[in-house]
Chain A
Amino acid sequence: MKESLMDVICCPLDKATLELEVDEADDEEVLAGTLTCTECGETYPIEDGIPNLLPPDMREEAAA
């Protein structure tokens, strides 16, 4: 994800601002990291350049 995505995303639970922590990035994009809600503290992973912003109870749903 590009850092500009931060302008349009928020916590899916309470719509509060997210804080970006970058673990891995290239010139253009964040490839791995964590998004943390500044209000409720819930965390959302960024893996392979894709943030997973599903609420936690939908994240683990196994559909194959």
Chain B
Amino acid sequence: MTRGGDERDAGDERGGDLAALRGADDAVVYQPAEDSGLLAEAAVAEAHGRVLEVGTGSGWVAERITEERGLDVVGSDRNPHAARQARERGVEAVVADLLAPFRADAFDAVCFNPPYLPTDPDNEWGDWMEHALSGGESGRELIEPFLDDVGRVLAPDGVVLLLVSSLTGYDEVLDLVDEAGFAAEPVVEESFPFETLTVLALRRA
């Protein structure tokens, strides 16, 4: 995850021919990057049954899961521009606040690449891209409510795939996972110059 610049190119390559689909929404919707690639890799390997991707953004990860596994995937985002892009990719898109409008036990797999960059409150920039990137002062402001509620929507043998950056505090996230009653297992991990990204598979402890 980056605030733009060179690293986006790697994501664009992964996005491939989808560049053509991008219109005016691009400036306000997070586009696939390294973190998206890792989450997709983990989700394609681990997801089963009915899948929800929270914070689907451009819908790229949800599309990968649908194409490579043939699973039913719902993509939700609180940004209506993102939901529109996800729908253009054929994803069943919903505008939602995290897990609020989803039923108990509804999903066998829930994927989340949260906004995780720790952000100085004096330095918040106040647009859709901030919602996509900023995890508040701790970097964990969206991870906490997500973990509090995800057990509700997850089927009994369900799995959560959560992307964690070292910038967000790996051990702190593991503590939150433990408090929420889940056991964590790293599925994929990759190091970059400024952060290490890990996708954790969470299952009920």
B2 → A minimal CB distance (Å)? 20
A50 touches B87 (CB 8 A): yes
A1 at the A/B interface (Cβ < 8 Å)? yes
What total count of A-B pairs have CB within 8 Å?
A: 68
Interface range on chain B: under 10, 10 to 19, 20 to 34, or 35 or more? 20 to 34
Assembled-state Cα–Cα distance A52/B100 (Å): 12
Interface range on chain A: under 10, 10 to 19, 20 to 34, or 35 or more? 20 to 34
Given the interface pairs A63-B126, A64-B128, the reply to whether A53 lies near B103 with Cβ below 8 Å is no
B184 at the A/B interface (Cβ < 8 Å)? no
From 17 to 64 in chain A, residues with beta carbon under 8 angstroms from any chain B beta carbon are 44, 48-55, 58, 63-64
CB < 8 Å: which of A7, A8, A15, A49 contacts B87? A49
B92 touches A12 (CB 8 A): no
B80 touches A64 (CB 8 A): no
CB < 8 Å: which of A2, A53, A63 contacts B101? A53
A12 touches B101 (CB 8 A): yes
A5 touches B100 (CB 8 A): no
Report B's interface with A, CB cutoff 8 A: 28, 50, 52, 72, 74, 78-80, 83-84, 87, 92-97, 100-104, 106-107, 126-128, 131
